Amino acid sequence: MLNLKKVCREIEIAAHEAGVFIQNESVGFDIKRTEKKGLNDFVSYVDKGSEKLLVEKLGNILPEAGFLAEEGTSKKVGIKYCWVIDPLDGTTNFLHGLHPYAISIGLKEEDEIVAGVVHEISGNETFTAWKNGGAWLNGSAIHVSETAKLADSLVATGFPYSDFSRLNSYMACFTHFCKNTHGVRRFGSAAIDLAYIACGRFEAFYEYGLHPWDIAAGILLVKEAGGRVSDFSGNDKNLTGEEFLASNSLVFSEVLKIVNKFMKN
């Protein structure tokens, strides 16, 4: 059986090394050295360099594990374990010299995320969780907020950037949250949004069109910090990110009801 606490410490070391690489490359970065993967979907040599470093380091931690990495550096398939990696979540922020951006690493055992680390680079904040081990920020225990009403909540979201097929429904939902909460924030990194729910800075988050590497570590952070996650119908199994919401446990039902109403029409 894996010592997940020890594994998380090793993941943190790998994330910090990749974070130093990204931070160094941010000095004098030339946005012209960017490639386009799709509509408003960008990648740079920094994303690829970070992922290459992470694949190497994580491969040493658990040689039998496979990889699901955003930039496809490794296609290795693991029988039981799989690393789910976003080497630079918030790439568009990075390209424009805007914070925040992060590294997100989840370890999946069969169908369950059992370890996760989100390293927010500019703030040097490392969020860590392992199964049944709680959630942590730079070594101190964290918990979701105790806010019990959506009216008293701060909500995070991500705007659609390439799939605009549900934009009208999304904007109706967004308008409702603007009018009925303390406000809505959009930081440009789902991994960071989920980490901030885990430590109580946000009460809720919703977005569609995400990918597994955007949410893998964040799912475990939120759950181990006492929160809940699901798709827009309330299903909390095998989440891919295509539909995703997270919140503290106290406002979850209220958030789900609203998102379901607007986004499932």
Report the run of H or E that residue 84 belongs to, with start and end: strand 81-89
Beta pairing, strands 41-44 & 66-69: unpaired
Strands 112-120 and 102-109: antiparallel
End-to-end CA distance of the chain: 45
Task: Give the pTM.
Answer: 0.95
Q: Is residue 70 scored above 50 in pLDDT?
A: yes
Question: Percent of the chain scored above 90 by pLDDT?
Answer: 84
| All structural domains of the chain with their residue ranges | 4-142, 150-263
State the fold for domain 150-263. D-Maltodextrin-Binding Protein; domain 2 (3.40.190)
CATH tag, 4-142: 3.30.540.10
CA dist., res. 78 & res. 59, Å (int): 11
Extract the tokens encoding 145: 């907020």
Determine the average pLDDT of the residues in 128-149: 98
Please state, in angstroms and rounded to a whole number, the distance separating the CA atoms of residues 129 and 141.
10
Mean pLDDT of 44-73: 94
Q: Does the structure show a pLDDT above 60 at 26?
A: yes
**150-263 shares the fold of 4-142:** no
- Give 73-113 pLDDT, tens digit per residue: 998 999 999 999 999 999 999 988 999 999 999 999 999 99
DSSP code, position 31: G
Strands (E), 133-257: 135-137, 140-142, 154-157, 183-185, 204-208, 227-230, 243-248
pLDDT digits (tens, 9 = 90+) for 160-186: 877 899 999 999 999 999 999 999 999
pLDDT at 40 over 50: no
Look at residue 163 in the predicted model and tell me its pLDDT.
85
Residues of the chain with pLDDT > 70, as a percent, come to 96
Please state, in angstroms and rounded to a whole number, the distance separating the CA atoms of residues 209 and 212.
10
In DSSP notation, 33-67 reads GEEEEETTEEEEHHHHHHHHHHHHHHHHH-TT-EE
